[in-house]
Amino acid sequence: MRPQLIDTLKQLRLSGILNTLEIRLQEAVGNQLSPLEFLELVLQDEITMRSDRAFGKRIKAAQFRDLKTIEDFDFTFNPSVKRKQILDLAAGHFIRQHQDVLFIGPPGVGKSHLAQALGYQAAKMGFTVFYRSIFTAVSELMQAEVLNETAARLKRYLAPEVLIIDDMGLKQLPKNAGEHLFEIILRRSEHHSTILTSNRPLSDWGKLIGDVPTAGAILDRLLSRAHVIEIPGRSYRLRDKTCGKQKDNDNQQSH
């Protein structure tokens, strides 16, 4: 390949074309492609490269705790989780309609997996996503309040098209946490989508937040436009531990 052509592609930042050009040239000769067909191929390579790079940036910005996908979720373990309902959400219509999703159920049933999987799918479709546990979110906002940086920090929670707030109900939240959560939910309502997971029933939110009226106001906003998915049943994590112990026992017996 001509050095001048390489320099030109670098100057134009066409790394997608640069990385595949030699292969495409051989393909063009071998398949007797027309100039337009060749041009279409190399331009598609550039589009693919840029799309992959942008997706990588969205995943990094999302700060997921774990990278989870819908394909990795075991729907056979807990039949109460309706595959069609989750796949419908994964199509992203709720995001375009600025609706919310609320997963409710005991620890270990897959709420965080599904929430992050929906976020991952949203990022694949080009939406901006941001993940935080409720404890991290509250801590960041309370710290920002002390430093007089609330507006700047709050922007991180208001700007993304999909915000995931995880682990609601694992323990009681700090004082005034409800005010911060309400501010996020209120200002995102009807503008962007929020996905929440809760380990406790909604009737317990007043105690968890320590402010029954604020909890009621939060739920009033959420439930007006939310897909509420209740997941009863056994814990996946306990299943994995049980399976692990069973394998160890089987191995010991085989020796």
> Which strand (E) or helix (H) includes residue 196?
strand 193-198
Which amino acid, one-letter code, is at 132?
R
Spatial separation of the C-alpha atoms in residues 164 and 118, rounded to whole Å: 9
pLDDT 10s digits, 107-145: 989 999 999 999 999 999 999 999 999 999 999 999 998
For residues 105 and 222, state if they share a domain. yes
For residues 126 and 220, state if they share a domain. yes
- Does residue 244 form part of some domain? no
Task: Please give the full DSSP string across 86-104, using - where no structure is assigned.
Answer: HHHHHTTHHHHTT-EEEEE
- Does residue 254 form part of some domain? no
For residues 182 and 224, state if they share a domain. yes
Torsion of CA 156, 185, 144, 129, to 10 degrees: -20
Domain end, chosen from 32, 62, 92, is at 62
Single out the residue of 42, 117, 105 nearest to residue 78, CA to CA: 105
- Does residue 75 form part of some domain? no
For the chain, count helices (H), then strands (E): 12, 5
For residues 51 and 88, state if they share a domain. no
pLDDT 10s digits, 50-67: 999 999 999 999 999 999
What is the domain-level CATH number for residue 202? Answer: 3.40.50.300
pLDDT for res 238: 58
For residues 114 and 235, state if they share a domain. yes
Residue 74 has pLDDT above 50, yes or no: yes
Spatial separation of the C-alpha atoms in residues 95 and 131, rounded to whole Å: 15
Domain end, chosen from 16, 32, 62, is at 62
By the 8 A CB rule, do 54 and 209 touch?
no
By the 8 A CB rule, do 132 and 164 touch?
yes
- Does residue 103 form part of some domain? yes
- Does residue 164 form part of some domain? yes
Residue 246 has pLDDT above 60, yes or no: no
Which amino acid, one-letter code, is at 57?
K
By the 8 A CB rule, do 192 and 98 touch?
yes
Q: What is the mean pLDDT of residues 77-96?
A: 94
pLDDT for res 171: 76
For residues 112 and 202, state if they share a domain. yes
By the 8 A CB rule, do 97 and 53 touch?
no
pLDDT for res 195: 97
- Does residue 70 form part of some domain? no
Which amino acid, one-letter code, is at 43?
L
For residues 56 and 107, state if they share a domain. no
For residues 56 and 90, state if they share a domain. no
Tokens of 230: 């209740």
For residues 114 and 218, state if they share a domain. yes
For residues 102 and 208, state if they share a domain. yes
Single out the residue of 211, 208, 148, 134 nearest to residue 179, CA to CA: 211
Q: Mean pLDDT score of the chain, rounded to an integer? A: 89
> Which strand (E) or helix (H) includes residue 160?
none
Percentage of the chain modeled with pLDDT above 70: 92
Single out the residue of 156, 138, 151 nearest to residue 211, CA to CA: 138
- Does residue 235 form part of some domain? yes
pLDDT for res 250: 47
Instruction: Mean pLDDT check: name the lowest of 3-7, 91-95, 99-103, 171-175.
Output: 171-175
- Does residue 253 form part of some domain? no
Which of the listed ranges 113-122, 151-160, 232-241 does the model predict with the highest average pLDDT?
113-122
Q: What is the mean pLDDT of residues 218-225?
A: 90
For residues 29 and 125, state if they share a domain. no
Tokens of 47: 């589009």
Instruction: Give the domain range for residue 213.
Output: 83-239
Residue 244 has pLDDT above 50, yes or no: no
Cα-flanking dihedrals φ and ψ of residue 129, to 5°? -135, 145
- The structural domain count of the chain equals 2
The residue ranking higher by pLDDT, 54 or 234, is: 54
Secondary structure class of 199 (helix, strand, coil): coil
For residues 42 and 110, state if they share a domain. no
Q: Cα–Cα–Cα angle for 227, 229, 165, nearest 5°?
A: 75
